[in-house]
Amino acid sequence: MIYANDDVIQESDSELRYLKLLSKQYPTIASACTEIINLQAILNLPKGTEHFMTDIHGEYESFNHVLKNASGNIKRKITEVFGNTLSEKEIKSLATLIYYPEQKLEIIHKNIESIDEWYKTTIYRLILICRKAAFKYTRMKVRKALPEDFAYIIEELMHQGSEEYDKQEYYNEIIKTIIRIGRADEFIIAMSKLIQRLVIDRLHIVGDIFDRGPGADIVMDTLMNYHSVDIQWGNHDILWMGAAAGSEACIATVLRICARYANLDTIEDGYGINMLPLASFALRFYGNDECVEFKPKVESDIIYNDNDLNLIAKMHKAISIIQFKLEGEIIKRRPHLCMEDRLLFDKINYNNWTIEIDGKTYKLNDNNFPTINPENPYELTQEEKDLIEKIKSSFLNSEKLQKHVRFLFAKGSMYLKFNSNLMYHGCIPMNEDGSFKKVKIGSSGNEYSGKSYFDRLEILVREGYFHKDDLEAKLYGMDLTWYLWTGPDSPLFGKNKMTTFERYFIDDKEAHVEKKNPYFKLEDSEKMCKIIFKEFGLNPDCSHIINGHVPVKLKKGESPIRANGKLLVIDGGFSRAYQGTTGIAGYTLIFNSYGLILVSHDPFESTQKAIEEEKDIHSTTIVLEKEVERKRVRDTDNGEELESQILELEKLLEAYRKGFIKELR
């Protein structure tokens, strides 16, 4: 605080300089007082609703629907407002209209004759739902969310008081005029999107937007237009980030996965990357190879003919061989990564087509390696070098990909602490005894563990993408980005090795085993969670860890709730590739002012059925924690920041009143 004593004033010069800067924003006692009153009032509003999603894996239709229905939150709002007056069918119709207003209005116009009466009833209902969704926000915050075309009208209608009988005709006339001048459809669309906007205050994506499904680029476009979002990078995201930076190993792996899941449309149509050079290369070197083990897994609704599938299989094998070679270059270049066990081409006996791994000899199921020189198996042929250079140029010059990856850097991180929740995608590397594993990074021999390991990795990933001046630093950052995809101590991967080669070329499933980090054995331990909370500076009594990455196999009796509710694994199988083993189609999490709600979802049929037949995703809700006293803004991270602002403004008031700073009248 600032006191009259001259010695104290001298010691507070820096504080006084700060307050003078603050006075430019609040130049009078009145303006400072008004802001204090405003901030103090905000502290007592209910906490905003947070929505957690993870492991979307390009399944844009399911993702889009869950985002639109806010994991059932919109339907809950409708039920709270109209549960006693509308039938279940009417509630479903109103919910579908809010999710898909443009498409639903087209159907309504074909089926309803007396449209004016329907408009009047529907607009009235949307206004009531909008009020319900907006009640926990200040008018200023709601005003900023209003669509520009109807901002004044919506604000007038939303803030109608129940006692304002004399203005009822005024409000009715607004609605009648909207209908009469032909703006009802646009108004309903604007109101529906406003409701979607207001029911969720913040969206958290706990990793893995990319790969497997057909629309990662569409998901990214949606996120870029979302009002408030953060992303914790997953191993599949980091792979695409490395590819966009120019890491050749990451580029080859991205293409391999897209070929594996017959998802080249994301590459070609989504990001404008030309696959013709890879197709030509594959036909030249693997034209007579049936590539049986490389037949793509088709899990989307796209229909491929046999010729297409055969070509994709050849492309799949061609890029896989290139990937293994490029990975070998990194492993040799960075011995401190301790991944020599992944150097497998030099372990092949090219005479009898066997390979020795971990002291055991396996028979290879494929012996056609036209681009491998047994004397120097990790060397790229000139044709492979030319191919990867062309493809790399396409990745570096894809405007849309670069825009999406810059967004991942802007909104993303290795982990996030937010409102007593610690979010990271995979795990924290640990030893068997539950201590944090120390991992060496760089030639200096420096070791990192726990939080410091995450922090250091994030710096290196950013250097791998953004560093322009120091090419060696950029290369090292790109190599570490690739390591995060597949490395034994990667917190985004969490296994001792990725047995991609073995799954393609060895039939014996013993060779396919990937051992998980001890973290996954300990994740049911409340003691482990408390150690992690302490490491990241969180209160163990009220904090949670929220993970994705490892699908919860509900069919096998697994639970997403671990460590007495301290750790939540919310990957339940958004990706169709996992739904056969999980038994569901994903988990999402809602954290509102009343507590934590876990939602499990059945598979989503299609957007078309959701609109035409009003088939919402069937979801099951579990209340994990219910607050005895409703959480307010003051109980959040934002509340702490607001309280700090109030304290600074009160110091400014004191400085005004004692004459240390003059008001600007």
Angle (deg, nearest 10), helices 235-245 and 450-466: 30
379, 373 in Cβ contact below 8 A?
yes
Number of H helices, E strands in the chain: 28, 17
Question: Over the chain (665 residues), what is each successive 10-residue block's mean pLDDT?
Answer: 46 82 94 95 93 92 89 91 91 93 93 90 94 88 89 84 66 90 94 94 95 92 96 98 98 97 93 96 96 86 82 97 98 94 95 94 96 96 97 97 98 97 96 95 86 97 93 95 97 96 96 95 93 96 91 76 91 66 72 88 79 76 79 94 96 92 85
Beta strands of 552-629 (E only): which ranges? 561-562, 567-569, 587-592, 595-601, 619-626
Residue 267 burial (CB count, 10 A): 23
Instruction: Give the pair of three-digit tokens for residue 638.
Output: 């934002």
Which residues are paired to 229 by β-bridges?
203
- Give the residue among 98, 93, 176, 108 at the shortest CA–CA distance from 132: 98
211, 261 in Cβ contact below 8 A?
yes
Find the helix or strand (DSSP H, E) in which 589 lies: strand 587-592
Q: Which residue pairs from 161-168 have beta carbons closer than 8 angstroms and sit at least 24 positions apart in sequence?
A: none
At 4 the pLDDT is 46
Where do we find the tokens 């059945």? 602
At 395 the pLDDT is 98
At 628 the pLDDT is 75
At 296 the pLDDT is 92
Sign of CA dihedral 486, 489, 493, 494: positive
Angle (deg, nearest 10), helices 235-245 and 248-260: 130
At 581 the pLDDT is 60
Residue 154 phi, psi (nearest 5) = -60, -45
* CA atoms of 171 and 169, how far apart (whole Å): 5
Tell me if residue 630 falls in helix, strand or coil: coil
Sign of CA dihedral 78, 84, 87, 88: positive
Instruction: Give the pair of three-digit tokens for residue 471.
Output: 């090419």
* CA atoms of 473 and 470, how far apart (whole Å): 5
Report pTM: 0.92
Residue 562 phi, psi (nearest 5) = -120, 160
At 625 the pLDDT is 76
* CA atoms of 370 and 321, how far apart (whole Å): 10
| DSSP 8-state secondary structure symbol assigned to residue 340 | G
Residue 440 phi, psi (nearest 5) = -85, 130
* CA atoms of 387 and 280, how far apart (whole Å): 10
* CA atoms of 596 and 623, how far apart (whole Å): 6
Instruction: Give the pair of three-digit tokens for residue 333.
Output: 């270049």
Listed in sequence order, the residues at least 6 apart from 165 whose beta carbon sits closer than 8 Å to its beta carbon are none
